[in-house]
Amino acid sequence: MAQKAAKSLAVRNKQKLDQTRLFTLAVHLFYIIFRVLIFRSSFTRGSFWRYALFSFPALFIQFWFERIGRPVYGSEPGDLRKSGEDLEAKGLTEWMWDVLYWTYGCILFAAVIGDRAWWLYITVPVYSAYLAYTTFTGVRQGMAGMAGPASAEEGTTTQSKRQAKLEKRGGQRTQYR
C-alpha cells in the first residue's frame, strides 16, 4: 500500500481540522447569542472590540492550521497530492493548540461572565514566557554538558561493577578510556 503513512496523516489532519472548525463556529455562535441577544444591555462597542481583538489570535492560528495541515487531493479519487504537516507535532504546533483552546475558554467565559473574563487571557503571555524560559535553561544545561568534565572531577574516576569486582578479587585493574 503506497503512502500509507501519508494517507493516515491526511485522514487525521482532515478529521482534526473539521472538528476544530465546528467547535470554533459553536464557540463564536455561543458568544454572539449570549452577549448580543441575551445580555444585550451589557454588550457595548468596547465589548465588541475586545471580542474582536482577543479572537484574532485563535482565528489566525486556525487559518494557519488550515493552510499547513489540510490535505490536498488530486482529480482522481484517492489521489493524495499533499498530506499536510503533522498537527500533533511537539513544539510550536503544540503551543498553538494550547493558545487556541485557551482562547476558546476565554470567549466562553466572556460570554457568560462578561468583559472581566478577558483578563484570563493574560495567561497566554505568561505561559509563553514560561515555555521560553524552560527551553532556554534546557539548552543552556545541554551546552554546559558539552564542555566535558571539570578539572576538579578529573581526579576521581567512577568504577563499573565489573571493575569493582576485579579490584576486590585482587586481580589486575582494567583501565577504560
Segment 58-113, tens digit of pLDDT: 999 999 999 999 888 888 877 888 888 888 888 889 989 999 999 999 999 988 98
- Print the domain residue range for 17: 4-140
pTM here is 0.69
Q: How many domains does the chain have?
A: 1
In a domain, 167, yes or no: no
In a domain, 94, yes or no: yes
In a domain, 106, yes or no: yes
In a domain, 157, yes or no: no
pLDDT tens, 7-62?
888 889 899 999 999 999 999 999 988 888 887 777 788 888 998 999 999 999 99
CA atoms within 13 A on the CB side of 94: 6
In a domain, 53, yes or no: yes
In a domain, 172, yes or no: no
